Amino acid sequence: MAAQVSGGELAKTSGISASMLSRIERGLVSPSVETLERLAQGLHVPVSRFFSDQARRTDFSHVRAGQGVIVDRVGAVADYRYELLGHLLSGNLFVEPYLVTLLPGADPYVTFQHPGLKFLYFLSGEVSYRYGAKVVEVRAGDSLLFDATALHGIEAIGTQPVSYLSVVFTLRE
């Protein structure tokens, strides 16, 4: 959270006069690149902050515990429960965060394959996870990050219950 700074303090830390800062704030003067750099340093932000459209960045998702949307995904594997934990509608990056829970009848499944990057964080249980020709043993607290275009998935289920956070990142078309 940013600290509150008065105009006088900002002018002093930025090395510009209070009257110049006031004229900039009221739109009476266009600041030079040097002045913008000084203001950015005084505010401890990058200069690019002055040019981003913060007012249009309104996507925000808040999902309370246990209130995610249970999703029937296309090609979903039987007894793999997907709870969508958030979504954003804008931007060129599509992010799908899911809480995945293997229900009692779940079987191993190693032929997931899709565009994007996938991040997995295991919350409970132990499994053997296949990525291409590689198999790793994972348990609660372990994470995986990989290119999801290769075949991947749970090869063997060890200790149950198994649950993990799965986040897929893809570019929107």
CATH code (residue 24): 1.10.260.40
Q: Residue 48 domain-assigned?
A: yes
Q: Residue 108 domain-assigned?
A: yes
Q: Residue 63 domain-assigned?
A: no
Buried b (16+ CB within 10 A) or exposed e, 121-157: ebeebbbebbbeeeeeebeeeeebeeebeeebbbbeb
Please indicate, yes or no, whether residues 91 and 165 belong to a single structural domain of this protein: yes
Number of domains in the chain: 2
Q: What is the pLDDT along the chain (173 residues), one digit of tens a residue?
A: 345 667 778 788 888 887 887 777 777 777 777 887 888 787 777 776 666 655 565 677 788 888 888 877 555 678 898 898 988 777 778 889 999 999 998 999 998 899 999 999 999 999 999 999 999 999 999 999 999 999 999 999 999 999 999 999 998 76
Cβ atoms of 164 and 120 closer than 8 Å: yes
Radius of gyration of the chain (CA): 24
Please indicate, yes or no, whether residues 167 and 127 belong to a single structural domain of this protein: yes
Please indicate, yes or no, whether residues 135 and 79 belong to a single structural domain of this protein: yes
Please indicate, yes or no, whether residues 103 and 151 belong to a single structural domain of this protein: yes
Which candidate, 106, 90, 78, places its Cα nearest to that of 53?
90
Q: Residue 2 domain-assigned?
A: no
Please indicate, yes or no, whether residues 20 and 82 belong to a single structural domain of this protein: no
Please indicate, yes or no, whether residues 167 and 86 belong to a single structural domain of this protein: yes
What is residue 160's predicted lDDT score, i.e. its pLDDT?
94
Q: Is the pTM of this model over 0.75?
A: no
For the CA atoms of 89, 95, 96, 99, the dihedral, rounded to the nearest 10 degrees, stands at -120
Please indicate, yes or no, whether residues 34 and 87 belong to a single structural domain of this protein: no
Please indicate, yes or no, whether residues 103 and 163 belong to a single structural domain of this protein: yes
What is residue 32's predicted lDDT score, i.e. its pLDDT?
79
Please indicate, yes or no, whether residues 160 and 97 belong to a single structural domain of this protein: yes
Query: What domain range is 25 assigned to?
Result: 7-52
Q: Residue 159 domain-assigned?
A: yes
Q: Residue 58 domain-assigned?
A: no
Q: Residue 60 domain-assigned?
A: no
**Residue 103 φ then ψ, to 5°:** -75, 165
CATH code (residue 141): 2.60.120.10
